Amino acid sequence: MRVVIIGPAYPLRGGLATYNERLARAFKQAGDEARIVTFSLQYPDFLFPGQTQFSTEPGPSDLEIEVSLNSVNPLSWWRVGRKLRSERPDVVIFRFWLPFMGPALGTVARLVRGNGHTRVVAITDNVIPHEKRPGDGPLTRYFLSACHGFVTMSRSVLDDLRGLGFGTKPALYRPHPLYDNFGPIKPKAEALAALHLADTVGYVLFFGFIRAYKGLDILLEAWADARVAALPIKLIIAGEFYEDAAPYEALIRQHGLEGRIVRATDFIPNEKVVDYFCAADLVLQPYKNATQSGVSQIAYHFERPMLVTDVGGLAELIPAGVVGYVVPPTPTAIADAIVDFYANRREATFTAGVREQKKQFSWPVMVAALKEVAGKQR
């Protein structure tokens, strides 16, 4: 089977790029031809909240990546779509995560499927965005209506597709596979040494781009709880601010948290991800809303217990009491769980649970689902 994946990839950076590259490898491992078409311009600079969209690491030598799609240039949509239409791949897989991408991806999809052969399948991270803006609905529908079928990574997104009127198209739920491309597990002492952190206290980890919906403010309020403050632990904040950092800094000052926090608020390169996860006793995701999270799948890979909030599809992959905690998105509930984790020495038990649960999250399962959806209604 000849497969083209359209979405972020090198030289772009971030979780979407990492996922798409890993998916291409999974198709190749299954014996298929796979390449990626990525963006020459993903976001205009004024819409991008981080420091840079581009990786400073070497590109993958084992993948074919074409840098040709400009999200705001209709001529590039036309060129990419016409080229793929004439090449007639068996499947084109679009990664859809934001209504802003609807016009570009929807136009390419319509052009490609015009050859009567290529199947258009979308991996839909979200169809209702975390941060809503005027025009989201029409942009999203423009893209979704161009697809033959969908694979979602949370049941809540599958429900959203049905709610938007796309329930008659083939669609499958499959959980986000493991992010197993950040290297093997390290001993905790080795990871702490790599980060120049003392081994005399414990560490919990908040990881990933910092945006309002991810609830770092709730976590900082929980960190101010007197019971948590009495524990010999520190909070690692590892990820780049994608919004104004001032409100978070104000909370830190207000509650006197400075000495109990480790900041790593630049983009975390791939080779350092292992150190942050393996240094942590517990990985925290205090999100206010969510569909699924790649952070969970990194934590599963590195066999780290987790705390997630009971929002959207986030809790679907986290059996409470087996691999960690599922709690309401409130400071008190989060503080209760942190205190329980350390007071009752839960790390070993939850780590064993993570080790068992992670077996279900494989890339061949995702590849099979995409092929199944592509094969329907031919």
The pLDDT tens digits for 195-224 are: 999 999 999 999 988 988 899 999 999 999
Angle at 360 between CA 62 and CA 277, to 5 degrees: 65
242 within domain boundaries = yes
20: nearest Cα among 96, 104, 79, 116: 96
State the pLDDT confidence band at 291, using cuts at 50, 70 and 90: low
pLDDT on residue 52:
58
Report CA torsion sign: 107, 112, 116, 121. Answer: negative
pLDDT score recorded for residue 292: 67
Is the predicted pLDDT of residue 47 greater than 60, yes or no?
A: no
The CATH code of the domain that includes 297 is 3.40.50.2000
Residue 136, domain member (yes or no):
yes
Is residue 215 a part of any domain in this protein? yes
Q: 247 and 312: one domain?
A: yes
If you average pLDDT over residues 300-325, what whole number do you get? 92
Q: Give yes or no: residues 282 and 261 share one domain.
A: yes
Residue 286 sits in which domain range?
Answer: 188-360
Same domain, 170 and 227: no
- Whether residues 353 and 232 share a domain: the answer is yes
Q: Structure tokens of 111?
A: 């052009």
Q: How far apart are CA 258 and CA 255, in angstroms?
A: 9
Q: What percent of the chain has pLDDT over 70?
A: 95
Domains held by the chain: number = 2
User: Within 10 A of 347 (CB to CB), how many other CB atoms are there?
Assistant: 17
Q: Is 60 exceeded by the pLDDT of residue 48?
A: no
| Mean pLDDT over each residue of the chain, to the nearest integer | 92
Is 74 inside any structural domain? Answer: yes
DSSP symbol at 157 = H
Single-letter amino acid code for the residue at 135 = G
pLDDT of 377 above 60: no
Same domain, 133 and 248: no
Q: With 60 as the cut, is the pLDDT of residue 378 above it?
A: no
In a shared domain, residues 234 and 144: no
The reported pLDDT for the residue numbered 234 is: 98
Given a cut of 80, whether residue 278 has pLDDT beyond it is yes
CA 265/CA 244 separation, integer angstroms: 12
Examine the pLDDT at 349 and tell me if it is beyond 90: yes
Percent of the chain with pLDDT over 90: 76
In a shared domain, residues 356 and 315? yes
Please give the single-letter amino acid code of residue 244: D
Q: Are residues 355 and 367 in the same domain?
A: no
Rounded CA-CA distance 218/362 in Å is: 32
Residue 90, in any domain of the structure: yes
**Residue 183 maps to a domain:** no
Domain assignment of residue 287, yes or no:
yes
pLDDT band at 59 (very low <50, low <70, confident <90, very high): confident
pLDDT digits (tens, 9 = 90+) for 259-271: 999 999 888 888 9
- Is residue 272 domain-shared with residue 353, that is, in the same domain? yes
Query: Do residue 275 and residue 349 come from a single domain?
Result: yes
Is 182 among the domain residues? Answer: no
What's residue 58's pLDDT?
79
- The structure tokens listed for 161 are 């597709």
What would you measure as the largest C-alpha separation in the chain, in angstroms?
65
Same structural domain, 172 and 203: no
Residue 45: predicted pLDDT:
65
CATH of the domain at 52: 3.40.50.11930
What local confidence, expressed as pLDDT, does residue 126 receive?
A: 85
The pLDDT of 122-135, averaged and rounded, is: 84
Q: 323 with 239, same domain?
A: yes
DSSP string, 309-375: ESSTTGGGG--BTTTEEEE-SSHHHHHHHHHHHHHTT-HHHHHHHHHHHGGG--HHHHHHHHHHHHH
